Structure 1
Amino acid sequence: MTPGPVFDPLIEALSARPTRRIADEERTPRGERAAAVLMLFTDTPDPALTFVTRAETLRRHAGQIALPGGRVDPGDLGRADTALREANEEIGLLRSGVAIFGELPPLWVPASGYDVTTVLAAWDGHQRLHPVDPAETGAVHQYPVSQLASNEVRVTGRHPSGFRGPAFALGDQFIWGLTALLVDWVLELAGWRQPWDEDRIVDVPKRFMRD
């Protein structure tokens, strides 16, 4: 499938090779370990973005909301292959009907030491996504761009370590850290970003800030 016109500004921005985002610290890749995540949008006028809740039993980032993805395996044919493989293993996403249309420059993640590439894709949204392995994925969420961009859910998240960055307060769910940084970046690149009160600071709920 070919992504619909709603993605044209984003595809154009990605083709221009956007400058790497720097948030709380330098994010230049270190070249030690690599991973990829999938930013999967429904191909609709108001695209919905897919997230997962990481299982409570995981050693790192348990219970946090993230994008599907994981480390690069030796047999992977590229970052898109990694992202699609991981999405299939985590939420049962089938590759058929998924259109990859770009990547963000990789960012280094201090907490894990991985260089993370974000792979962007569109799909028809007809398949039911679900946690394949409850030991890895706790839940699947989808939020439309209009909601993610709204002033009502956008906040600045504050961590006790001193970290502050873009965050999304969605009822009893809270998206922050690298995932929120990536979503904020794509909203801007696509022209979907709306004015919001960056001075509205919210402490990251304890259940979402485990290392």
Structure 2
Amino acid sequence: MHNFPDFPHDFPGENIELAPDKAPVWMHRLIERIQSGKMRDPLTGVKAGDPSEAEKRAAVLMLFAGSETSFDLPNDASVLLTHRSPTMRSHAGQIAFPGGRIDPTDVNAVDCAFREAWEETGLDRRSATPLAQLKEVHIRATGYPVYPILGHWHSPSPVAVASPHETDEVFDAPVYELIDPANRLMVGWNQWHGPAFKINDYIIWGFTGGLLSAILETAGWATEWDQKRIFDLESTLAKSRNNENLR
């Protein structure tokens, strides 16, 4: 439920058609590679879940902002992220893209991604353009399918915590901070390891970290960073603001 009356109402069913031709020039390479099937695999080795559980499909919104006049990655490029409330039953304390379960009333995955973003952050879907839908990826723990929607926030609107029981912080992460080698690391837990980021004393890892890393690599925005050293995930999270317990 939306908790802040100052935010505009959502507009279900509106702005749900992909419009890749409206992408700013600095996102063209990313769009072209997604459309040609050259997107980096964000979560290698994750198996699909039971097809009978299709009702557990979800969508996430990867919303990038930045100057429309720049040919290269602009200095003000950023991506919208949330910190999931530590009291949540699942994925508590994690940094995530806005998103959630696809409802029967959602027209498609884009409609779901925008609705969830509005419920969590108050995002006005009219301020953003949906550019591409990536191939479905699967949550490692469950195998449930998730449909990532890539968008450009052409007219950034006010956002904040709109659903405190789901998120306790909403913020724009500067892309140049994310690609800084000093803020990138590999983390591991048991037999798993994957890419992670440090931002605002948080750790972005798992599904979101893998997807974000794949986007940056596919777009050609990433720079070289140390992928050989693997940090213990549990101790790394303990030093962060995530307030996340793996046990």
TM-score, with structure 2 as normaliser? 0.79
Q: Which of 65, 72, 87 lines up with 2:102 in the alignment?
A: 72
1:103, CA displacement in angstroms? 1.6
Superposed CA RMSD in Å reads 2.0
Percent identity reads 35
Unaligned 5+ segments in structure 2 are 1-18, 68-73
Equivalent AA in structure 1 for residue 100 of structure 2: G
Q: Which residue of 2 aligns with 1:187?
A: 216
Alignment of 1:24-63 (within 5 A): 25-28=45-48, 30-31=50-51, 32=53, 33-44=56-67, 45-46=74-75, 47-63=77-93
1:20, CA displacement in angstroms? 6.8
Whether the 8 Å contact between 1:24 and 1:163 is mirrored in structure 2 is no
Q: Which of 144, 150, 158 lines up with 1:114 in the alignment?
A: 144
Whether the 8 Å contact between 1:54 and 1:137 is mirrored in structure 2 is yes
Q: 1:12 to 1:199 in 2, by over 3 A?
A: same
CA distance in 2, matches of 1:29, 1:66: 21
Equivalent AA in structure 1 for residue 244 of structure 2: F
The alignment partner of 1:90 has SS state of: helix
Q: Which residue of 2 aligns with 1:208?
A: 244
Q: Which of the pair is proportionally richer in strand?
A: 1
The alignment partner of 1:152 has SS state of: helix
Unaligned 5+ segments in structure 1 are none
TM-score, with structure 1 as normaliser? 0.91
1:112, CA displacement in angstroms? 3.6
Q: Which of 140, 147, 162 lines up with 1:132 in the alignment?
A: 162
CA distance in 1, matches of 2:146, 2:186: 22
- Between structure 1 and structure 2, the one with the greater Rg is 2
CA distance in 1, matches of 2:193, 2:23: 34
Give yes or no for the alignment of 1:163 onto 2:177: no
CA distance in 2, matches of 1:35, 1:192: 27
